[in-house]
Structure 1
Amino acid sequence: MSKRMIIFLSTLIVGGALLCTSVSVLVLMTLSDDRSVTLNSTHNSSGLHIKQLNTASRLDWDLNLHTRISRPWASPLPPAVLPENATLLTSESLPARKEYIPEVGNGHLATVVQSDAIFMNGLYNGANFSSHRARIPSTAGYSINSTTPAHVSRRYSLDLARGIFTESYTAPGVEISLRTYAHRQLTLVLVTELVMSRDDVTTNVSVEVDLNPGPASDDVEFDNDTMGVVHGRTREAEYPEISPQTSFYILKSATLAGTVVMTTGVKSETFLSLTVIDVNKELVLTEFDLAQKYFQDGELLERHVSKWTNVWQRGRIDVTGDMAIARLNYACLYYILSSLPFNGGREEWPFVGLSPGGLAHGSADMDYLGHVFWDQDTWMFPPIALLHPDIGRTIVSTRSRTLPTAKLAAQRTGYDGARYPWESAFTGFETCPAEQYGEMELHIIGDVSMMIRQYWQLTRDRETMADRSGAEIVWETAKFWASRATRNVSDGTFSILNIMPPDEFHYPVNDSVYTNTIAAINLRFANEMAKEFGKAENATWTEIADKLRLLYDPDLDYHPEYEGFTNSVYTKQADVVLLGYPLMADMDRSTRENDLVIYEKTTPIRSSPAMSWGMFLLGWLELGNETKAEELFNRTVINAQEPFLVWSEYADGDGATNFLTGMGGYLQMVMFGYGGCRIHDDRLTFNPILLPGTSRVKFTGLDYRGVSFALEYSEKSLTLTQTSIDKGRSGLEAKFVEDDKWEKLTTGQAISKNRQSFDLRTRE
């Protein structure tokens, strides 16, 4: 029987302060004999149970009675598409170092579980160079303090396949679970579910739940709104002339904190806590109501898991033979995807970008402040775009969003075109706290164009290039390089002077070989886009690209990093070795090898950031040295911290937390190193090699120009299968090195060969 009623929710607690009471929300309730929704411990006229809560005094909150939402049954855990033994990361205790506690996120909201902070995409506080992610005091940082019965076994688990963190307790005949997840369909919603089950209804089962709101936030201020929604705003705008302080809204159901006792006579019971946050008040109210309805219908968790399942089905990496590598592959994808929207974001509040520590990190003076660097464009984008081009398009849109600001920045600093900042946050202006990086680390401009180029090579997405500023970004960044390069009167060459290369130990320097190479690629690609879209090619761009100084030492047969470089100094990270990949600069095999040897010696093992060694590994695999590659593989993966495989920036465990840049570098090591993938203008190439210790590798959902395909290989054989074709696109054909002829792929029909290198292209 269906009934309608008014549920009175109350009390939104933010930052330890009672901000509002008596939230009145209209909710549709569908009741049946086996699926009634429990709201309190006494029966009202609707027949609903009403359970009252005294908020725990240790949290220093108001001791009023508040209404909890619950139901006398538990939803089964929906099935997952991934193997549980490789995707359920478990531990009997949380890491001693809090930096290694995992997170949940959905690209809009994210939080480190049990922490005192929630972060929202695009919400920053602080003027210009002090801008950082604005900390919203957590209303979802729950943990279990104690249980009845007391003699229980405890387990913490991060479910990579379903996107859920669970704190669970078991005793004979009793199970208690506290689940936290950032909902993947209702993306404004953070969910906590307390699930309690018992075999014997006479067994007393209860828990003491703690909530960690932390201190009041220095970043946001709050006031009451209507309908129980709290209105928040950041305290200080990043660049007021571009955008003022940001307003947002929060609606939260009654807290789970305090004593929670199972209702008499039920075998299982689920209690719900919701936190809904967005800049749009109406959407907050809508998703709050929908979340309750889905909870009542037993669909809230199922809908969330379904979205994760869909993404895993469309693109992932499976291996057999080494469980540690299998877990690491899934974990790296999980953490990066947890900071990305699956739905492309919204025009009203677009996705701002990937930061080195992801969406759950970046508060004041921490984890690169949540800023967007080259880390997104160079390190995280390629593996995501190859597996999920729709999400890749979302990443590209972060640079389209800030193109007007980049053009203004170039104008203000006396240059043409677009000058993308080394670090950006909400407005797209420079937010780097240290002046020298923003002033001199100009390779970011080429890195942005390089990402656009890779996206174009992979997708041929004319809409993004023509209508969403993709091509304009390339043209405007080319204009910048043309105005920034200096002609050398003595020989007619061009130099780029007074810059900082990726090796940030050395600046200012002239003619960084990485910077000049990527600038030349940018300039040439700009003319390619001009030709593609019916514009006149720019002769100046061609001249500068052809005449930019690319340093080479013929005596030592290697590329000096910059003018005056000596190989007796230390270098911070992968720099010159990036010429081979991803820039794919033309060079002799001996030069490639010498670059690898020389720069490995200059790069400190313990203090080089996590992504560096994977780029050395790619080079050695190109040269056929699998032994050296395995050494570098083992050097790379020590940055993944057990038990939840959160990456640290540096091998000693220090640096940025949840270092997505390192995870992106690792995934490139897997896909472009051991998978042997290279992206060309007219094709993909593969040279598949087994990862150390594995017996089989499978890439599911690789995408190329509207065609999805799977590549699976072992030591002796490989299988290539075209799985789907987008409307209006052509299928694929492959040329295997042993056959040396093009072979058409048919959807659903696998081609089996000896393991070997091959080319892949569309039949266009």
Structure 2
Amino acid sequence: MAAEDPAVFTSSTLPSDPRLLATVTNAYLGTRVYRDILHANGVYNGAAGDTHRADIPSPVNVRMSVSAEGSLSETFSLDTRRGTYIHTIQSSHYTVTHRIYAHHSLVHLLAFSITIQKSALQTEPVTVNLHTQFTPKSPDLDLHRGADFEGAHYLYGKTLIPEVEGGPKPTIHLIWTPVPQSVTLSGDETEKTWEFLTAIAKSEEDVKKYFHEGKSLIASGFLYEYHTQAWAKTWQGCCVYVDGPLSLSQAIYGCLYYLLSASPPIGSYDFQFSGISPGGLSNGTQNEDYWGHVFWDQGGKFPWESAATGQEVCPEKIYGDQEIHINGDVVLAFEQYYHITQDLKLFQEGGWDVVHAVAQYWCSRVKWNPEEQNYHINGVMPPDEYHQDVDNSVYTNVIAQRSLNFAIDLGSQLCIPIPEEWKEVRKKIKVPFDKTRRFHPEYDGYCPGEQVKQADVVLLGFPLLHPMDSEVRRNDLNMYEPVTDPTGPAMTWSMFAVGWLELKEPERAQHQLSKCFSNITEPFKADMGGEL
């Protein structure tokens, strides 16, 4: 018996909660299958504090059914290896396949197909009913019908409310193949496929160009092949294979799929990528997955959430004001990229500006404490969001120190003079530590036993790699594991798992990793843990 493919998630039923349906996305377009809306990269509606991904009516919201006597079996699959959702209906004499995908290289295209295959014993026609409730309306867009193009319908418009007063209102242009009520394979045919295409862009010229290109590839039989080839190239560069239970491999494929499907494909792309938001492009309407905001966008003082302009749009002001560790988190990503690639070109062509600006930000944010003879960072919210307006969050101060370390080292690599202030702050910034109990207090005045929301101090070990001996590492894990909210974000427990693996305690690590798995939902491995 062939082993089950860990990259394909299959079920005979659909989840009752529509949030758990499979998503098909790329860096520009995204939708949840059987949902009446889709979203496009950078297209937001609403003023700051209320801005959210604009709901665009979805022509790919189509369900199929077969009216037939006799026994029928159905399966619903998400093929993460090929970035495709597949619905199959099968009888003893024919198979019907509905395939939906967001093209992984031609990112302005969404497509679906219906294929009917029948055996020689089936001499009667086979009809598949197509159910769609598409309406050319949106609460976020002023939409208008345009003249049909190459047999397809055309819709265009712009958002209603700009993010900032006087700011731009993103435009959207949509061309899609009309969907009939049914398709039929005649009695003398054995197989036929019907292809349906949707193109979305920000101008009429572009949307017509992309639709024509997609239609030409359908005619030559290469549209889906180019999509799967692009996915194969993506997986070749980043797949993770593990020994262990099938559920572990499935979890890894699922997590990677939802991340990679929202990222630009390998190679060039012809649009400005606005970043990945929680839940990806398939979600982000009002009151859903942070409203589609992008976390930790551009600048020296990074916004907690941003949309189209890069300015702060978080509905709750305190996060943007106080959870400033994100500035260091972004620079940590730059640092990890550099250590992996040794690519100085990125920093010569603009990356240094970000590293420099964040270093300057930290130096402007610290305050000299004459009693302790060190620099403090006061009035912050640590990663643990149950606490606010605290002084010297240990994670925040260590990430600031690490930002400055990297800025100093990188400046030397680029032969750029380094301000002495950077070196002084890096050397003398306070890192809270309890010498008696030999652990890191989360912030000045933290009382052991006080509940925390999520991984915070334990992040000092990984990913920050802050120097400490094994006793301190163990004390931090033992101190914070029992007081971390069990309903907090699922990402928390993987950080404890890493810590216990460092200390060569695999059983405790496995226990924490199992907590992560409990948030991966069936059947399509969507992660509903805590933050999302």
Q: TM-score scaled to structure 1, two decimals? A: 0.67
- Aligned partners of 1:149, 1:114: CA distance in 2, in Å? 25
- Aligned partners of 2:267, 2:222: CA distance in 1, in Å? 23
Q: Secondary structure at the match of 2:5?
A: helix
2:345 aligns with 463
Distance change in 2, residues 1:463/1:147 (3 Å): farther
1:20 aligns with none
Q: Does 1:253 align with 2:177?
A: yes
How far 1:343 moved relative to its partner? 4.0
Q: Is the 8 A contact 2:520 2:529 kept in 1?
A: no
One of 594, 601, 605 as aligned partner of 2:482: 601
Deviations 1:427-476 (A, max 9, x none): 11001000111111111111111111111111121221111x21110100
Deviations 1:344-403 (A, max 9, x none): 5646x31111112111111111111111225xxxxxxxxxxxxxxxxxxxxxxxx5xx3x
One of 131, 137, 161 as aligned partner of 1:216: 137
2:103 aligns with 183
- Aligned partners of 1:214, 1:462: CA distance in 2, in Å? 50
2:272 aligns with 350
Deviations 1:169-218 (A, max 9, x none): 00011111111001123211110101111124622311221124379321
Q: Does 1:205 align with 2:126?
A: yes
Q: Secondary structure at the match of 2:143?
A: strand
- Aligned partners of 2:207, 2:345: CA distance in 1, in Å? 31
Q: Is the 8 A contact 1:561 1:576 kept in 2?
A: yes
RMSD: 1.8
Q: Secondary structure at the match of 2:111?
A: strand
Q: Is the 8 A contact 1:421 1:428 kept in 2?
A: yes
Letter of the structure 1 residue corresponding to residue 284 of structure 2: G
Q: Is the 8 A contact 1:138 1:212 kept in 2?
A: no
Distance change in 2, residues 1:304/1:149 (3 Å): farther
One of 330, 336, 348 as aligned partner of 2:259: 336
2:10 aligns with 90
2:423 aligns with 542
How far 1:649 moved relative to its partner? 1.9
1:578 aligns with 459
Deviations 1:127-175 (A, max 9, x none): 1111111111111011124433563111111111111101110001111
- Aligned partners of 1:495, 1:250: CA distance in 2, in Å? 53
- Aligned partners of 2:204, 2:380: CA distance in 1, in Å? 45
How far 1:538 moved relative to its partner? 1.2
One of 40, 43, 51 as aligned partner of 1:120: 40
Distance change in 2, residues 1:512/1:214 (3 Å): farther
User: Unmatched 5+ residue regions in structure 1?
Assistant: 1-81, 375-398, 407-417, 657-764
Q: Secondary structure at the match of 1:318?
A: coil
Q: Is the 8 A contact 1:147 1:205 kept in 2?
A: no
- Aligned partners of 2:188, 2:215: CA distance in 1, in Å? 24
1:424 aligns with 306
How far 1:426 moved relative to its partner? 1.3
Q: Does 1:107 align with 2:27?
A: yes
1:381 aligns with none
How far 1:264 moved relative to its partner? 4.7
Deviations 1:573-599 (A, max 9, x none): 000000001111111211110100111
How far 1:224 moved relative to its partner? 3.2
Distance change in 2, residues 1:204/1:179 (3 Å): same
How far 1:629 moved relative to its partner? 0.6
- Percent identity for Structure 1 against Structure 2: 34
- Aligned partners of 1:538, 1:612: CA distance in 2, in Å? 37
Q: Is the 8 A contact 1:114 1:212 kept in 2?
A: no
Q: Secondary structure at the match of 1:361?
A: coil
Q: Secondary structure at the match of 2:230?
A: helix
One of 269, 275, 283 as aligned partner of 1:361: 283
Kindly indicate which of the two structures has a greater share of residues assigned to strand: 1
Q: Does 1:640 align with 2:516?
A: no
- Aligned partners of 1:345, 1:513: CA distance in 2, in Å? 40
1:278 aligns with 201
Q: Does 1:166 align with 2:48?
A: no
Distance change in 2, residues 1:456/1:359 (3 Å): same
1:688 aligns with none
2:446 aligns with 565
Deviations 1:473-513 (A, max 9, x none): 01001111111111112233111111101001001100000
1:726 aligns with none
User: Unmatched 5+ residue regions in structure 2?
Assistant: none
- Aligned partners of 2:268, 2:453: CA distance in 1, in Å? 35
Deviations 1:499-533 (A, max 9, x none): 10100100110000000000111112112122111
Letter of the structure 2 residue corresponding to residue 610 of structure 1: A
- Aligned partners of 1:141, 1:496: CA distance in 2, in Å? 50
* Structure possessing the higher relative contact order (Cα contacts under 8 Å, 6 or more residues apart): 2
Total equivalences in the alignment: 526
How far 1:260 moved relative to its partner? 2.2
- Aligned partners of 1:649, 1:233: CA distance in 2, in Å? 34
- Aligned partners of 1:284, 1:185: CA distance in 2, in Å? 16
- Aligned partners of 1:178, 1:113: CA distance in 2, in Å? 11
2:500 aligns with 620
1:527 aligns with 408
Letter of the structure 1 residue corresponding to residue 246 of structure 2: M
Q: Secondary structure at the match of 2:86?
A: strand
- Aligned partners of 1:184, 1:280: CA distance in 2, in Å? 21
Q: Is the 8 A contact 1:149 1:171 kept in 2?
A: no
1:723 aligns with none
Distance change in 2, residues 1:246/1:273 (3 Å): same
1:41 aligns with none
Letter of the structure 2 residue corresponding to residue 129 of structure 1: G
Deviations 1:58-113 (A, max 9, x none): xxxxxxxxxxxxxxxxxxxxxxxx98621221111101111111101111111101
- Aligned partners of 1:345, 1:571: CA distance in 2, in Å? 43
Q: Does 1:313 align with 2:233?
A: no
Letter of the structure 2 residue corresponding to residue 360 of structure 1: S
- Aligned partners of 2:188, 2:182: CA distance in 1, in Å? 18
2:168 aligns with 244
- Aligned partners of 1:244, 1:555: CA distance in 2, in Å? 57
1:325 aligns with 248
Q: Is the 8 A contact 1:234 1:247 kept in 2?
A: yes
- Aligned partners of 1:147, 1:561: CA distance in 2, in Å? 62
- Aligned partners of 2:233, 2:491: CA distance in 1, in Å? 28
- Aligned partners of 2:306, 2:170: CA distance in 1, in Å? 16
Q: Is the 8 A contact 1:117 1:213 kept in 2?
A: no
How far 1:306 moved relative to its partner? 0.9
Letter of the structure 2 residue corresponding to residue 233 of structure 1: K
Q: Is the 8 A contact 1:149 1:206 kept in 2?
A: no
The structure number with the bigger radius of gyration is 1
Q: Secondary structure at the match of 1:319?
A: coil
Letter of the structure 1 residue corresponding to residue 170 of structure 2: T
- Aligned partners of 2:201, 2:286: CA distance in 1, in Å? 21
Q: Secondary structure at the match of 2:523?
A: coil
Letter of the structure 1 residue corresponding to residue 171 of structure 2: S
Q: Is the 8 A contact 2:173 2:200 kept in 1?
A: yes
- Aligned partners of 2:24, 2:402: CA distance in 1, in Å? 38
- Aligned partners of 2:136, 2:529: CA distance in 1, in Å? 28
Distance change in 2, residues 1:321/1:554 (3 Å): closer
- Aligned partners of 1:254, 1:220: CA distance in 2, in Å? 21
- Aligned partners of 1:237, 1:558: CA distance in 2, in Å? 48
